[in-house]
Amino acid sequence: MLIPREFFARPSGEVAPDLLGCVLEHETPDGLVAVELTEVEAYAGRSDPASHAYRGQTRRNAVMFGPPGHAYVYFTYGMHFCVNMVCLGEEGSAAAVLLRAGAIIAGEDLARARRTRGPVSESPVSESPVSGSRARNGSRDLARGPARLCQALGIDRSLDGADVCVASSPLRMRAEAGNPVRSPVRAQGDDRPGTPRRIVTGPRVGVSSAAEIPWRFWYEGDPTVSAYRAHVPRRPKLVTP
């Protein structure tokens, strides 16, 4: 079933762990790709120094200041897209949850094709992708990391503001039938089938401020969860006279 909008009308710190196990799907003329979320991060909005909304509304983050249940998609590092779910709909709150990783559960071939072609633009030079190491490790790396997840799903700027709570949208969030919030658990590691997967928390990845707040949530031991990296400032452009 489709996730109801009320699900997102809560603080992002509550929505985030509940999103684990939910399924994000994107339908395009090329086909459908669906990802079960395994790692997310909460951002509080105006009060959160690490949030894009910290310094108020701008053109880029405008969607975060709108109603919940919509996708906030942004472009970064000149080549990557990342997608968030907008939470609280209150004026000026701008809370959101960054979708950091997931497991492909439908459309794996299409996802792999998108991941093999390159970050943003394709390179028509090489005919045989044999030497290309992108996404070579099977399905594990296809949506492991926020930019990879977007690439596998084919999410770009055109989906900024997309409503994920309506069936007519190409981008939708759903849970399995029978449970409005949690999808069926899968056996994993030493967990017995039917045993809920353990959710653990830790510091958010790559943020330069408020990194100490444990607003990252993921399934313990899940191989699709991205590796933790602390924020590292890049050295300024060097000019030689």
Site residues (CB under 7 A) for DNA?
Answer: 41, 43, 50-53, 55-56, 58-61, 64, 75-80, 82, 84, 96, 98, 115, 119, 132-135, 141, 145-149, 204-208, 226, 229, 231-237
To DNA, the closest distance from the beta carbon of 192 in angstroms equals 31
- Cβ closest to DNA, residue 193 vs residue 233: 233
Residue with Cβ nearer DNA (34 or 63): 63
Dihedral Cα 8, 78, 32, 6, nearest 10 deg: 10
Cβ nearer to DNA, comparing 144 with 197: 144
Contacts of 198 (CB under 8 A, 6+ apart): 191, 219, 220, 221
The distance of closest approach from Cβ of residue 180 to DNA in the complex, given in angstroms and rounded to an integer, is 25
Which residues, in sequence order, are CB contacts of 181 under 8 Å at separation 6+? Answer: 7, 18, 22, 175
Instruction: Pick between residue 185 and residue 211 the one whose CB is nearest to DNA.
Output: 211
User: Least CB distance from residue 132 to DNA, whole Å?
Assistant: 6
CB of residue 206 to DNA, shortest distance in Å: 2
The minimum distance between CB 149 and DNA, in angstroms, equals: 7
- Alpha carbons 100 and 52: distance in angstroms, whole number: 16
**91-117 burial by CB neighbour count: b if 16+ within 10 A, else e?**
eebbbbbbbbbbbbeebbebbbbbbeb
d(CA 49, CA 26): 31
Nearer to DNA, 5 or 80 (CB): 80
Q: At what angle do helices 146-153 and 108-116 cross, to 10 degrees?
A: 110
